Amino acid sequence: MRYIIRQKFWSWGDDFIIRDGDEQPCFLVDGRAFSLGDKLSFQDLQGNELAFIRQRLLAWGPTYEIHRPGQPVTEVKKELFTFFRCKFEVDGPGPRDYEASGDFLDHEYELQRSQGLAATISKRWFSLTDHYGIEIAEGEDVVLMLATAIVIDLVCHDESSRRH
């Protein structure tokens, strides 16, 4: 399944719209503008919260939590000492642990787990625009994969803006 993630240009917080492969809107991500650390509500089109993304402030390195109703918290943490590539550990609920690795300059990432490739995140499909494509493997948790892609964008976009 392919999705398109686009950050809204005019917004107070980090707001995203997510479209399906037919370019139909299917999810909204509403970032809180005036909060300590990143806080985002991942919602369906009716405004029902499917997940809540929260930056953990007192952590060694960029760390986020993905909270979902009735499920254990998923932690997404960027590994600090990697050269030329970014790596994230995704400690999902139960056996759903992933590793995301990729090139933060080209915005190309793969999410892997022990059973193989779970998703690919690519800016290549959209060249210079602030769009990302994410291809999610059959049977994977769509909301978790999309929320993880949002976290990777938040961490890497923030880091690249500090370098310039």
* Model pLDDT for residues 45-104, shown as the tens digit of each residue: 999 999 999 998 877 778 999 999 988 899 999 987 766 678 899 997 777 789 998 876
How many domains is the chain built from? 1
* CATH code: domain of residue 69: 2.40.160.200
Answer whether residue 154 shows pLDDT above 60: yes
Decide: 76 and 151 in contact? Cβ < 8 Å: yes
* Model pLDDT for residues 74-85, shown as the tens digit of each residue: 999 998 776 667
Among 32, 159, 147, CA closest to 100:
147
The mean per-residue pLDDT over the stretch 6-34 comes to 81
DSSP 94-131: TT-EEEEEEETTTTEEEEEETTEEEEEEESGGGTTSSE
Distance CA 147, CA 154 (A): 11
Cβ partners under 8 Å of residue 110, min gap 6: 100, 101, 102, 117, 119, 120, 121
Q: Which pLDDT score, from 0 to 100, does residue 163 have?
A: 35
- Give the global pTM: 0.86
Residue bearing the bigger pLDDT, 119 or 57: 119
Residue bearing the bigger pLDDT, 141 or 85: 141
The domain containing residue 25 runs over which residues?
2-163
